[in-house]
Structure 1
Amino acid sequence: MIHLFRKNQRVLMLLIAALTIIAFVFLYNTEQLDDLANVQNPVIYGKALTQVAIDRHVKNYQLTMSLGQYDLLRKLGGMAQEREAALSEFVWNLIVLQHQSRELGVEPTDDQVTDRIKNLPLFKSGDQFDPRKYSAFVSEQLTPRGFTERQLEEVMRDAIRLESLSAIVEAPAAMSEEELKATSKIFQPVTAEVLKFNKDAKTANAPVAPEEIAAIFENNKAVFNTTETRAINYVAFDLPEGSKLEGKDKTEALQKLANAASGITDSIAQGSVSLETAAKNAGLKIEKLAAFDRTGSQEKNSDPKATLVAQSLAPAAFLLAGQGKSSDVVQSGDAFYVFEITEVNPARPLTLDEARPQIEARLRSQKSDQLFTQSTTSALNSIRSALLSGKTLNEAAAAQGATLENLTGVVPAAEDSTPEQQLITASTLLLKEGEISNIAQAPWGAFAVRLTARGPADPKAFGERETEIRTNMIRNKRDLLFAEWLRTSREAAKITMPGNTQG
């Protein structure tokens, strides 16, 4: 792997862009690495995946996120809400992507990688690539955190691999005129009757037996742990409150703050002194921050400023080895911080009594949802039967404790529709006039809707958004084609772990 933009110079100052501040939350977070490190002897394409290889792919995930390569993350499953699942999916899918790229002979060239890096907004001044921004990024953002130019280049290669393979796999995606015409329903005004079911106290307070709580605890002990917390002392360097500096003046002021913060870290490094001593020698005030977790949450804190500082410094705080360790300069917005770990409270297993409230709340919520779904489904079936026997919808709804509301002339795709109207009209798209939908969940509980009439679509509104609709539908088809290709490619990769097959 070549170094595409290495400069034979050392960047000694902290470069500050007044309009662009790079936030690297994911670069500080090693919890994901710990989770994947628990996997022993995984195999893909018949070869064992070493821990070194896993570490490399985890770093690629973190750097991909930080470089804003969201299409790569999205298509390879790295945007899942569950962080550990997102990381795992991304790593396996990335290996599959790289393997298939080699097999199909669509590996990116060095020139393509160079052009991709030069075109990243992160490294541009105006419309031109700025070598100074690139050099500062490497020396000040990557190197201190164990990243290299090689990894940056590899992320760009992966992004190009994805584009090349997507172009091949998604080529069949097309849209017929019949499909386009069918979408006109979202522009047809809907008149309907809405059956609303509100959650009641009976379903909200589902009983939970002590034996159920104990069983869940015994079968899932590894899940129930306290959260590790850390406390810090810190020194803040920020602009005066209410500062209205802009442009060059603001840049120069921020540079002075950065230099002052760097002076503290230099004093600590050169003199082997504590943050408290370094701050005292510089005439600076030490602030204390009570224990917080990896997200910056604190058990007891009503100070908005302390909450903001904790959330800003938590990722960097959990990167340090432990108590007594000091940080590098950490930038958050227009402020700079240097801190020292003063307290570490390791995670530990919860006792049954400690875990009981959490388990009970989760069980009660699950049971309540199940009871509510069962009761509303039963009520809707009774309403359907009552209608067949000659009852009006109003009479049938009242007998089942449901309320009946009218919806008149609401266009599903209208920009002025309320979220509730959009939710309800979406349930009518597959209905014929006179039909009643199945139960659908809603913020207030649940609902079903009977379509009374569907008016003609507004040709002008449909015409104005035809291009947008066509583009979105083709994009969705492409995503489905890629997802199916990735699924079959993963099956061919035969991903296995002890006692489990990922596929």
Structure 2
Amino acid sequence: MYGSRARSAVERQEFTAAAPDPQLKDNPQVGAAAFKLSKQEPNSDPVQVADGFYILHLAGVTEPRPLTLEEAKPKIVDSVKKSRTRELISTKVSEMAQQLRETAKSGQPLEATIQKAGLKPETLPPFSLIDEEAKKTEDKEPKKDEAPDLPAIKDAVAFLNPGEVSDFVASGNEGFIAVLEKREPLAGGPATEKMAAFKKRILDNKERIVFYEWLRDRQQAAGLEFRKG
């Protein structure tokens, strides 16, 4: 691959979409233009960047091939490490959730168990599992006093009874274990129908999550890596 910038021509080393040329990282449009070239059309139109233009010429294409065991080894090791880390974290937080359940069943306050486990307690203001459609369209952004992961919290407590403890739920780089303090009864009629629809949606979401987790584990076990795009 050759890149002509201003009046100088520079030959680039081989690079891929997954591992772009480091010298082009500040100008992703140049890399994108490079992958539009072909043997039939090896020259690009001028690509403007902050301090000039690039005109690209395709010098050659290396056809994809399966990785050798030695080439794949770092990815395999990294995948195994990540998998083991997830397993350790999952085991640890499951133990914490079980400790909270046992404390709740004994009728003892949860504060001591929460502190012993090193968890950060947070009490949320009352909320409704089923919001009115008008509110959904008007309030697209979370309110200032509203937890950013409130939708996930709603999903976690949807099937809990007062005093029960949820499983650990990953949320971003962290996660939470929810304890349902109390639940107000529904007024009936439309509210009951909305709750039934809400619970069905939660079950459908959980089925999809289980499937995607299973698929991810199978991909990692096979040494495959899929990227969006």
TM over 0.5: yes
Partner of 1:397: 114
Residue 375 of structure 1 corresponds to 92
Higher relative contact order (CA 8 A, sep 6+): 1
Q: Where do 5+ consecutive residues of structure 1 fail to align?
A: 1-230, 236-283, 458-462, 481-503
For residues 343 and 386 of structure 1, the distance between their equivalents in structure 2, rounded to whole angstroms, comes to 66
Q: Name the structure 2 match of 1:314.
A: 34
Aligned counterparts, 1:236-385, within 5 A = 285=7, 287-288=9-10, 290-291=12-13, 293-295=15-17, 297-301=19-23, 304-305=26-27, 307-311=28-32, 313-317=33-37, 319-320=38-39, 326-327=42-43, 329=45, 339-347=56-64, 350-385=67-102
Deviation at 1:356, TM superposition (A): 2.8
**Deviations 1:67-98 (Å, cap 9, x if unpaired)?**
xxxxxxxxxxxxxxxxxxxxxxxxxxxxxxxx
Query: Equivalents in 2 of 1:369, 1:294: separation in Å?
Result: 29
The alpha carbon displacement at 1:450 in A equals: 1.2
Residue matched to 1:232: 2
Whether 2:181 is the aligned partner of 1:452: answer yes
Cα distance 1:343–1:328, how it changes in 2: closer, same or farther (>3 A)? closer
What TM-score does the superposition give when structure 2 sets the normalisation length? 0.58
Aligned-pair CA distance for 1:364:
0.6
Change (3 A) 1:304 1:292: farther
1:358-410 Cα deviation digits (max 9, x unpaired): 22111110111112112211221222122222321112223333332211134
Quick one: distance in 1 between partners of 2:77 and 2:57?
38
Displacement after TM superposition at 1:439 (Å):
2.2
Contact 1:233–1:342 (8 Å) recurs in 2: no
Which letter maps to 1:309?
A: V
Distance 1:347 1:337, change over 3 A: same
Higher mean alpha-carbon deviation, 338-347 vs 429-438, is at 338-347
Aligned to 1:23: none
Q: CA deviation at 1:332?
A: 8.4
What letter is aligned with 2:157? Answer: T
Unpaired segments ≥5 residues, structure 2: 132-138, 205-229
Percent identity (aligned): 18
1:478-493 equivalences under 5 Å are none
Q: Report the secondary structure of 1:360's partner residue.
A: helix
1:61-140 equivalences under 5 Å are: none
Q: 8 Å contact 1:233–1:287 — kept in the other structure?
A: yes
**In 2, Cα distance between equivalents of 1:337 and 1:320:** 19
CA deviations on 1:104-123 (whole Å, 9 max, x unpaired) are xxxxxxxxxxxxxxxxxxxx
Judged with a 3 Å threshold, the aligned counterparts in structure 2 of structure 1 residues 456 and 299 are, in CA distance, closer, same or farther, namely: farther
Q: Name the CA distance, whole Å, in 2 between partners of 1:289 and 1:298.
A: 14
* 1:419 paired residue number: 148
Is contact 1:320–1:327 with CA below 8 Å preserved after alignment?
no
Match of 2:103 in 1: 386
Using the size of structure 1 for normalisation, the TM-score is: 0.30
C-alpha spacing 1:300/1:233, structure 2 compared with 1 (3 Å): closer
| Equivalent AA in structure 1 for residue 39 of structure 2 | L
- Corresponding position of 2:221: none
Cα distance in structure 1, aligned partners of 2:47 and 2:36? 10
CA contact (8 A) 2:153 2:178 kept: yes
Contact kept? 2:104, 2:164, Cα under 8 Å: no
Larger Rg: 1
